[in-house]
Amino acid sequence: HTSFKPKGIGVVISPWNFPLAIPCGGIAGALCGGNQVLFKPSKHAVWVGHELIRCFWEVGVSSKTLQFIPCQAKYLMDMVLPDPRVKFCIFTGSTAVAKKIQSQNPNLLLSAETGGKNTTIVTWNADHELAIQNILISAFSHSGQKCSATSIVILEKELFKNKTFKAKLKNAVESLMVGSAWQAE
């Protein structure tokens, strides 16, 4: 006894750090729900965003149904989001911007994935070497720019007091190469 109906016009706002996967999911989901979509990529990912939209258009999605709006954030906030024809927004970015979007149009249905504090919990029974390896991968792969990156490590009391574990974790972190992505090894 469940029924679904389109919401209408929605805006998908995507970040720079995952310029293909994140907007593709929001756009495809909104289109599958029978909605029209305005897609606003990050200013740092306009080319990738355009290529994504071109793929949708090439497989038959109408440019009237899916529109590309690589505009300035101010235009989006002042003109697009407050428009009463815009019914929903799928946003990935900062909490501050999500709150601003909501203040621009309090009636807007907002689905926001914002920065969080992702935690890795390590117990005494864990494989300590594997735990350290996984902490490093989660915290520092993708330069720590992934929304699911570990930013907090919680250690069981016995492990927290274990100087050997903490020394190994510290050494592992300090062994990482830090520098510009443009600088070859």
Which residue numbers are catalytic?
A: 113, 147
User: Which residues lie below 8 Å from residue 81, measured CB to CB, with a gap of 6+?
Assistant: 11, 89, 101, 104, 105, 108
Q: Kindly state the tokens that stand for 64.
A: 């009237």
Which among 38, 82, 41 has a CA at the least distance from the CA of 64?
38
Helix (H) or strand (E) holding 14: none
Q: Distance between CA 182 and CA 160 in Å, rounded? A: 37
Q: Distance between CA 20 and CA 1 in Å, rounded? A: 35
DSSP-assigned states of every residue in 15-68: -SSSTTHHHHHHHHHHHHTT-EEEEE--TTSHHHHHHHHHHHHHTT--TTTEEE
Which among 26, 27, 35 has a CA at the least distance from the CA of 5?
35
How many Å is the maximal CA-CA distance in the chain?
62
